[in-house]
């Protein structure tokens, strides 16, 4: 997934009200930008961090810049936009690049199902069980090389696991796919200390046949693409 507009570097001044951040451009101008991440962004919103912004001239948008990346200045990046995983994964699914799901040729995003929910992707193929795929963006790293989810309590995430259980019980495939939007992680685990209820809900989901996939990403100021599977510990 290539960024629609070339990104520009900036320095983070502060993040506030969940969806806003102030940044300094290289010329010293301070601007307010949209932060496309409602989570805690633990470890990713410290003043002075180097970030990358996407400009826009859309008159329908209140802000002319969107925060897209954190630049760790060691060759690694983190993607902070929670909408990116769905867009990047859709391209990969349609190109049948996810090995575990490559037998499915029809990819439908945002399909209503369950109790007033929408599944991120419904995959179908004649002769195969329908496959319900829920996607989560992973950006937390508290130990070197170890990606964790979630970075805050997520009752909504636990609800999604419950919906996937119902699909598995009806004979469908149900997949929880964690997309690690960091280039500095090689392992994954659930952050049970942050949200014990989510970790318990996931254990229950696995016992009922919900599958887990974890994929890494390649990230640069030009694009974000799906990379290789990551193992859970």
Express each pLDDT in 177-228 by its tens digit: 999 999 999 999 999 999 999 999 999 999 999 999 999 999 999 999 999 9
pLDDT at 114 over 90: no
- The least confident of 22-31, 59-68, 198-207 is 59-68
Range of 199's domain?
84-232
Confidence of residue 60 (pLDDT cuts 50, 70, 90): confident
Q: Are residues 167 and 194 in the same domain?
A: yes
Measured distance CA(43)–CA(140) in Å, rounded: 7
Return the pLDDT at 93: 96
pLDDT at 59 over 90: no
Q: Are residues 49 and 31 in the same domain?
A: yes
Q: Return the residue matching tokens 């919906």.
A: 163
What is the overall mean pLDDT for the chain? 96
pLDDT at 71 over 90: yes
Instruction: Give the CB-side neighbour count of residue 14, counting CA atoms within 13 A.
Output: 2
The total of structural domains in the chain comes to: 2
Q: Are residues 58 and 92 in the same domain?
A: no
Q: What is the pTM of this model?
A: 0.95
Return the pLDDT at 168: 97
Confidence of residue 163 (pLDDT cuts 50, 70, 90): very high
pLDDT at 58 over 90: no
Measured distance CA(52)–CA(109) in Å, rounded: 28
What letters, b where the CB count within 10 A reaches 16 and e where it falls short, cover 123-158? beeeeeebbbbbbbbbbbbeeeebbbbbbeebeebb
Q: Are residues 67 and 143 in the same domain?
A: no
Q: Are residues 137 and 187 in the same domain?
A: yes
Measured distance CA(36)–CA(60) in Å, rounded: 16
pLDDT at 7 over 90: yes
């Amino acid at each position: 997934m290539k960024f629609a507009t070339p990104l520009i570097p900036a320095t983070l001044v502060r993040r506030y009200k969940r969806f806003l951040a102030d940044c300094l451009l290289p010329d010293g101008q301070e601007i307010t930008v949209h932060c496309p991440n409602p989570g805690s962004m633990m470890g990713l919103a410290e003043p002075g961090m180097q970030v990358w912004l996407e400009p826009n001239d859309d008159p329908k948008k209140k802000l002319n810049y969107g925060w897209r990346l954190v630049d760790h200045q060691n060759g690694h990046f983190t993607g902070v936009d929670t909408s990116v995983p769905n867009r990047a994964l859709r391209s990969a699914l349609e190109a049948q690049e996810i090995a575990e799901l490559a037998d499915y040729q029809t990819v439908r995003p945002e399909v209503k199902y369950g109790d007033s929910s929408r599944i991120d992707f419904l995959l179908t193929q004649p002769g195969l069980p329908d496959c319900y795929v829920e996607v989560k963006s992973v950006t937390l790293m508290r130990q070197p090389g170890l990606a964790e989810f979630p970075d805050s309590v997520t009752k909504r995430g636990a609800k999604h696991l419950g919906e996937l259980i119902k699909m598995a019980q009806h004979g469908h495939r149900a997949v929880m796919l964690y997309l690690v939007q960091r280039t500095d992680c090689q392992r994954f685990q659930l952050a049970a200390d942050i949200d014990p209820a989510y970790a318990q809900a996931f254990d229950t989901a696995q016992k009922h046949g919900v599958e887990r996939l974890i994929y890494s990403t390649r990230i640069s100021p030009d694009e974000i693409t799906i990379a290789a599977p990551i193992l859970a510990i």
